[in-house]
Amino acid sequence: MPQVLVENLSKTYRVSERRPGAWGAVQGLFARRYRLVHALRHISFSLERGELLGFIGPNGAGKSTTIKILSGILEPLSGRCEIDGLTPWRDRIRHVARIGVVFGQRTQLWWDLPVIDGFNLLRDIYRVPESEYRRTRDEMIGLMRLERLLDQPVRQLSLGQRMRCEIAAAMLHRPALLFLDEPTIGLDAPSKLAVREFVKTLNRRQGVTVILTTHDMHDIEALAERVIVIGNGVILADKPFALLRAEVFTERRLLADFVGAAPALDIPGAVVRNRDGNSIELSFDPAIISVPQLIESISSKYELADVHVEQPQIEEVIARFYDLHGASEA
Amino acid sequence: MAAIAGPLRSYRSVFAARFMLMLQYRAAAVAGFVTQCWWGIIKVMVFAAFFHGATARQPLSFPQTVAYVWLGQAFLMLMPWWGDPEITEMVRSGNVSYERLRPLDTYFFWYARALAWISARMVPRAAMMFAFVALLLPLLGLGQWGLAPPPSPRAAALFVAGMVMAVLLSGAVLMLINLLVVVLISDRGPSLLATQTVTLLSGILVPLPFFPGWMRSFLFLQPCAGLADIPFRIYSGNLAGGLALAGLLLMLVWIIALIAIGRRLMERVMSRLEVQGG
C-alpha cells in the first residue's frame, strides 16, 4: 500500500470576471460573470514511504493546488486521495497531525515570539510528549544550526535564518510526510545549500517522505530522484529525474568561430540558432549527428578558429519542456 | 464539545502565548487608562447635571449610574469592536491556510486567541481604573464621584461570574466579526458595523435602563446586554436576586448560541476558502 495515493483528482476554481471600464463596472453590479478555471484535471500518482518527489511546473500549473488538497486545506471537486489511510480534507485534524508543511512564501512561526517560544507553542498544539519533543528539538537545532537564533523574535530573523527555523518547526512533531512548497525561494546560496542538505538528511537518514515543489531546478537536481512535471492541471511526466533529463537533454550546442565571416550552414540534424560576425551557434541532436561528424562536416568546407560544445542549462531544458507541451503560463 | 475536551492543553497554550505577548503593550495601556479617566469624569459630570435637573424617579440611582459609568470605562477593552487584527492580517497575507494545518478545531483555536487578546488588553486597564476610582478617589474625599463597593458579597461574587462570562461572550461576538472578515477579505465593513452596534446595544454609551420603556425588554434580551449592562447592574445591586440570576443565565444561553453559530459558519467558510497565489 503506497503512503500517498492520488486518483483522478480534479479541482475547478470559479473566477469572477468584469468587463473593462466604467460601463463594465456598472454591468458587474447586476450580473456577475464567472469563468471556470480547471486547476487540476484528473491527476493520479502514488508515492511510497521514504520517496523524495520533486513536483515541478510553471506558475499556475496546479502545483500549489495539489499541495493544498494533499495537506487537507482544500477540498477537490472530485477524485480520491488517501494518505496513510486518511482522506486529507475529510479527516483534516487527524491528517494534519501527521504531516509537516512549509510554504516558502508564508510563515508559520508567530512573528513576535522568540523562536524557542514558537517551538514550545507547537509542542503544545501538536501535543508532543516532553521527552520526545526535547530530543527532536535538540536534533533539529543541531542540524539547522539554530542555537544562536533561539532567543530572537521571528520578525528579526533574515529570510535564510527564518526558513531554517520554519523547516525545523515543521519537523517538531515528527511527521512521516513533509511538504515543502518553494522552500528555497528568495534564499542566498549558503542558505539554499543548508536547506538542501537538511532535506536530504531528513529523507535519506530518517526516512521522511518529502514532496517538494520548486522553480529552482538545482533543488531538483540536488534532491529529487523522481520528478512529476505538471502543466495546465495535467501530469506531463512522472519519471526518475535522470530519465527526464536524458530525454530532454538530447540537445547539445556547438559554438564555432571562423577565421572569416561565418558561413550559412545547412547540415542535416543541426539547426543554426544564431549567426553573428565570425561566430555561429548550432544546436544538434547527437543521436542524428555526432560531435566529430558535425565538426568534420564544417571543417572540411570552412576554416575554423575555435569550437566549443556545451549542454543547455537545466532551466532552459525545463522551459523547453513546458513549451513543447504547451504548458507555459498564458 | 468533544472537539475541545481532548486538546485543552493546546488551546490553553495558545491563550497563554497570546496573553503574554499582549501584556507587553504597557504604554498603550497607560495611555488608554488616562483617556478613559478623562471620558469617565466627563460622563459622570453629565449624569450629575442630568440627575440634578431631573424630577421624575430614574431607573438607576445616581450612585448606581456612576458605578455603571466607571465600570464601562474600566472594561472598555472588553468590547468586541473590531475583528482580531491577527486574523485580519492573516486573511490579507494568506497565512490563513497555515491555521488549517494545525490539528485543532479552527474555531476554538481562534476563540482561544480572541479571549487572550481581549483579556490581556482589558485586565491592566481595569486594574488601573479600579485603583483610581475605588481607592484613590475615596481617599481624596471624592468618594461620591467614585466607584462604591457592591452592596453585598453575593453581588460581588455574581459580578465576578458575570465579568468572566462577559469575556466569553465578547470572544464569541468577536469570532463572528472575524468570520465576516474572512468572507469579505476586508475588516473595514465588519469593524464599522460592530463598533456601532456594540457601542449602542451594550449600554457603554448610554446605560440601557435610560432607554425608552418600550425598548427595554428587547434591550435586556439581545446578546450585547451581557457585554456591559447585565454585569454592571449586578455590581451596583440594580439587578439582584432572581433577576440577576436570569441575566447570567441569559448570557450563558447567548454564549452557547453564538459559539454554535460561529462553529457552523466556520465550517462553511473554510470549506469554501480558496487561498490565492503561491
Beta-strand pair A33-47/A177-181: unpaired
Which residues of chain A neighbour B17 with C-beta distances below 8 Å?
110, 113, 117, 121
Q: Does A135 touch chain B (CB under 8 A)?
A: no
Q: What would the pLDDT profile of A270-309 be if each residue is shown by its tens digit?
A: 888 888 888 998 888 887 888 888 888 888 888 888 988 8
Which residues of chain B neighbour A105 with C-beta distances below 8 Å?
278
B95–A106 CB contact, under 8 Å: yes
Q: Is the pLDDT of residue B5 over 80?
A: no
Task: Give the model's confidence band at B275: pLDDT under 50 very low, under 70 low, under 90 confident, else very high.
Answer: low
**Contact status, residue A102 vs residue A179, Cβ threshold 8 Å:** yes
Determine the distance in angstroms separating the CA of A83 from the nearest CA of chain B, rounded to an integer: 15
Beta-strand pair A279-284/A234-240: unpaired
Q: What would the pLDDT profile of B89-139 be if each residue is shown by its tens digit?
A: 888 887 787 788 999 999 999 999 999 999 999 999 999 999 999 999 889
In degrees and rounded to multiples of 5, residue A40 shows phi and psi of -135, 135
What b/e sequence results for A207-235 when a residue is b if at least 16 CB atoms lie within 10 Å of its CB, and e otherwise? ebbbbbbbbbbebbebbbebbbbbbbbbb
Among the partner-chain residues A13, A94, A103, the one whose CB lies closest to the CB of B278 is A103
Where are the domains positioned within chain A?
Answer: 48-246, 250-311
Task: Give the model's confidence band at B277: pLDDT under 50 very low, under 70 low, under 90 confident, else very high.
Answer: very low
Q: What would the pLDDT profile of A298-310 be if each residue is shown by its tens digit?
A: 888 888 889 888 8
Work out whether the CA dihedral B187, A104, B16, A155 comes out positive or negative. Answer: negative
Which residues of chain A neighbour B104 with C-beta distances below 8 Å?
93, 125
Torsion of CA A166, A71, A229, B275, to 10 degrees: -80
Per-residue pLDDT 10s for chain A (330 aa) are 899 999 999 998 877 777 777 777 777 777 777 888 888 999 999 999 999 999 988 887 888 889 999 999 888 999 999 999 999 999 999 999 999 999 887 778 888 889 999 999 999 999 999 999 999 999 999 988 899 999 999 999 998 899 999 999 999 999 999 999 999 988 888 889 989 999 999 999 889 999 999 888 888 888 988 999 998 889 988 999 888 877 776 778 888 899 888 888 888 888 888 888 889 988 888 878 888 888 888 888 888 889 888 876 777 777 777 887 776 665
A96–B94 CB contact, under 8 Å: no
A93–B98 CB contact, under 8 Å: no
Interface test with A, best of B87, B99, B100 (most A CBs within 10 A): B100
Among the partner-chain residues B13, B93, B101, the one whose CB lies closest to the CB of A121 is B13
CB atoms within 10 A of CB B106: 18
Report the complex ipTM.
0.84
Q: Report the distance separating Cα A119 and Cα A125, nearest Å.
A: 10
DSSP per-residue string spanning B128-164: HHHIIIIIIHHHTT-GGGS-PPPSSHHHHHHHHHHHH
Q: What would the pLDDT profile of B29-79 be if each residue is shown by its tens digit?
A: 889 899 999 999 999 999 999 988 887 888 889 999 999 999 999 999 999
**Contact status, residue B163 vs residue B250, Cβ threshold 8 Å:** no
Class of domain A48-246: alpha beta
Q: Report the distance separating Cα A308 and Cα A191, nearest Å.
A: 34
Torsion of CA A59, A63, A68, A69, to 10 degrees: 140
Q: Does A72 touch chain B (CB under 8 A)?
A: yes
Interface test with B, best of A16, A63, A92 (most B CBs within 10 A): A92
Start-to-end Cα distance in chain B: 35
DSSP per-residue string spanning B174-199: HHHHHHHHHHHT-SHHHHHHHHHHHH
Strand pairing partners for A252? A284
Q: What would the pLDDT profile of B205-264 be if each residue is shown by its tens digit?
A: 999 999 998 998 899 999 999 999 999 999 999 998 899 999 999 999 999 999 999 999
pTM of the model: 0.85
